[in-house]
Amino acid sequence: MICELVSKSLLRSGLFDYMVDCKEIAESAKPGQFIHVLCGADTFLRRPISICDTVQNRFVRFIFEVRGKGTHNLANAKAGETLDILGPLGNGFNVSFKNDIPDGDIVLLGGGIGVFPLLKLAKSLPKKPVVMLGFRDEATAVMTDEFASVSDSVFVASDDGSVGCKGFVTDILKSRIAAGNKIDRVYTCGPKPMMRIAAELCEENGIGCFISMEERMGCGVGACVTCTCTMKDGSRRRVCKEGPVFNGAEVDFDG
Ligand SMILES: Cc1cc2nc3c(=O)[nH]c(=O)nc-3n(C[C@H](O)[C@H](O)[C@H](O)COP(=O)(O)OP(=O)(O)OC[C@H]3O[C@@H](n4cnc5c(N)ncnc54)[C@H](O)[C@@H]3O)c2cc1C
CATH, residue 13: 2.40.30.10
Q: Are residues 54 and 130 in the same domain?
A: no
Q: Give, in degrees to the nearest 5, the angle at Cα 104 between 123 and 155.
A: 60
Of 62, 64, 60, nearest in space to 29 by CA: 60
CB-CB contact of 25 with 88 (8 Å) = yes
The reply to whether 115 falls in a domain is: yes
pLDDT more than 90, % of the chain: 96
Contact 240, 219 (CB under 8 A): yes
State whether the beta carbon of 166 lies less than 6 angstroms from ligand 1. no
Q: Do the beta carbons of residue 25 and residue 59 sit within 8 Å?
A: no
Verify that 216 and 109 share a domain, yes or no. yes
**Do 9 and 125 share a structural domain?**
no
Query: Among 18, 35, 49, 60, which residue has the most ligand 1 atoms within 8 Å of its CB, making it the best to mutate?
Result: 49
pLDDT tens per residue across span 40-78: 888 889 999 999 999 999 999 999 999 999 999 999 999
Q: Between β-strands 82-89 and 2-12, what pairing exists: parallel, antiparallel or unpaired?
A: antiparallel
Give 145-180 pLDDT, tens digit per residue.
999 999 999 999 999 999 999 999 999 999 999 999
Nearest CA to ligand 1 atom 13: 49
How many other CB atoms sit within 10 Å of the CB of residue 228?
18
Nearest to 117 by CA among 218, 183, 48: 48
Per-residue pLDDT, 2: 97
Within a domain: residue 98? no
Q: What range does the domain containing 197 cover?
A: 105-250
Are 79 and 111 in the same domain? no
Residues 118 and 241 in one domain: yes
Residue 99 has pLDDT above 90, yes or no: no
Contacts of 94 (CB under 8 A, 6+ apart): 210, 245
Using pLDDT thresholds of 50, 70 and 90, give the confidence band for residue 98. confident
On whether both 72 and 129 belong to a single domain, the answer is no
Q: What separation in Å is there between the alpha carbon of 36 and the centre of ligand 1?
A: 11
Q: Is residue 220 part of a domain?
A: yes
* 181 and 124 assigned to the same domain: yes
Question: Do 113 and 239 lie in a common domain?
Answer: yes
pLDDT attached to residue 134: 98
11-30: average pLDDT: 97
Determine if ligand 1 sits within 6 Å of the CB of residue 246. no
Chosen domain end from 63, 89, 115: 89
Of the candidates 89, 123, 144, which is a domain's last residue?
A: 89
Tens of pLDDT, residue by residue over 196-226, are 999 999 999 999 999 999 999 999 999 999 9
Q: Is there a domain that residue 94 lies in?
A: no
Residues 152 and 235 in one domain: yes
Model confidence at 251: pLDDT above 90: yes
Give the separation between CA 48 and CA 34, rounded to whole angstroms: 6
In CATH, what number is assigned to the domain containing residue 153?
Answer: 3.40.50.80
Rounded CA-CA distance 194/218 in Å is 25
* Residue that terminates a domain, selected from 40, 59, 89: 89
Average pLDDT, the chain: 96
Q: 85 with 128, same domain?
A: no
Residue 73 Cβ inside 6 Å of ligand 1? The answer reads no
Q: Which residue's CA is minimally distant from atom 44 of ligand 1?
A: 216
CB 95 within 8 A of CB 69: no
pLDDT of 17 strictly over 90: yes
In terms of domains, do 85 and 113 share one? no
Ligand 1 centroid–CA 164 distance in Å is 27
Residue 219 shares a structural domain with residue 134: yes
Q: Once rounded to an integer, what is the mean pLDDT over residues 102-112?
A: 96
CB-based contacts of 36, cutoff 8 Å, min separation 6: 46, 47, 48, 49, 85, 86, 87, 89, 217, 220, 221
**Residue 218 CB–ligand 1 contact under 6 Å:** no
Q: What total of structural domains would you count in the chain?
A: 2
Residue 100 placed within a domain: no
C-alpha 22 to ligand 1 mean position (Å): 22
- The more confident residue out of 100 and 198 is 198
pTM of the full structure: 0.95
Q: For position 255, what pLDDT does the model report?
A: 82
Question: Rounded to 5 degrees, what angle do the CA atoms 148, 129, 111 make?
Answer: 70
* Sign of the four-CA dihedral 76, 79, 80, 84: positive
